[in-house]
Amino acid sequence: MAGKVLLHGGAGEWNISKDEEERVKDALRKAVMAGMKALKKGSALDAVEESVASMEDSSVLNAGRGAYPNIEGDIELDAGIMDGKTLSAGAVASVRNVPNPVRLARLVMEKTQHVLLVADGAERLAKGFSLYEAFKLSTARKKRYTAEIRKFIGQKWIKDLPIAFEKHLDTVGAVAIDDEGNLAAATSTGGTAFKLPGRVGDSPIPGAGFYASNGHGAASASGVGEAIMKYLLCMKVVASLGSLASPFSVLKTEINSLRGVYGPELAGVVAIDSRGVPSVYTDTKAIAIGYGVADGSTRVDIARKEKLDELNTLLIRQIPG
């Protein structure tokens, strides 16, 4: 089977200008290339790590240096990675000054006996493996952020703050299958904007923001972590991917069921099943995706919800774009 990488740059509004759209698509294209390169000489696990690290480096998505800060203006990152072959997982949460938390998550998986390290402890591990590099919100973003937050202070409860303030920013994630049929998934985020310090969403929680299991599938989610983690969205998607239903209808069923419990416009997922069938669904306005097949084409898209039927057909037929 030819290896494949399917990645997302987040599920959300995606109400952005043409220029911003080009920057995002460029970041998605680079991430597909990074994943494909890794697939050629490595495994599905290498591919999801490289694709996600590339998006973390892009500064145009809600991950790595470009991520949303918390309510105090500090960037705190979450990431997780899972190997479908061994069912091993690694994750980090609330880490500062680690530009590539997905790489740190893989270290947690491979070099420790633990699954999830947070804050200070995770940062100490990062220092030991040269993954620590001090960085702050850029001055321009700090200015925009401070102006935005002023609108809300004193007017609303924290729970009424919006979950985004820069419209083009979103969480990143990737799923992949290699030519031996191994599956992997990874997700990385700065979390929701205006989050409280220490808030952790679904992205670093196995079964919530990501999950992979050979023989079933791999999934990575984006959306409102508080809903996704209570629903254990990726676990439910992967568990059903081995069923007779088409992967697209599995994603649709699970995301609609989450909507039934927690409300509309909360989640999107990308997945690959054990036969290598890709699928994408979101209940938000749109989802940014990138797709690459080792011996063929690539496609990037910021797909509106109403175009997802069409997108899934194009992905399955490997039509480039």
- Residues in the chain, overall count: 321
Q: Quote the least distance from Cβ 101 to ligand ASP, whole Å.
A: 12
Nearer to ligand ASP, 11 or 109 (CB): 11
d(CA 108, CA 33): 25
What residues line the site for ligand ASP (CB under 6 A)? 10, 62, 170-171, 189, 191-192, 201-203, 222-225, 228
Q: Quote the least distance from Cβ 52 to ligand ASP, whole Å.
A: 13
Active-site residue, from 86, 171, 192, 298 = 171
Nearer to ligand ASP, 201 or 207 (CB): 201
Nearer to ligand ASP, 54 or 222 (CB): 222
- Beta bridge partners of residue 47, listed in sequence order: none
Has 313 been annotated as catalytic? no
Q: Quote the least distance from Cβ 227 to ligand ASP, whole Å.
A: 9
Nearer to ligand ASP, 91 or 314 (CB): 91
Q: Quote the least distance from Cβ 43 to ligand ASP, whole Å.
A: 25
- Is residue 160 exposed (0-12), middle (13-18) or buried (19+ Cβ within 10 Å)? exposed
What amino acid positions are annotated as catalytic residues?
A: 171
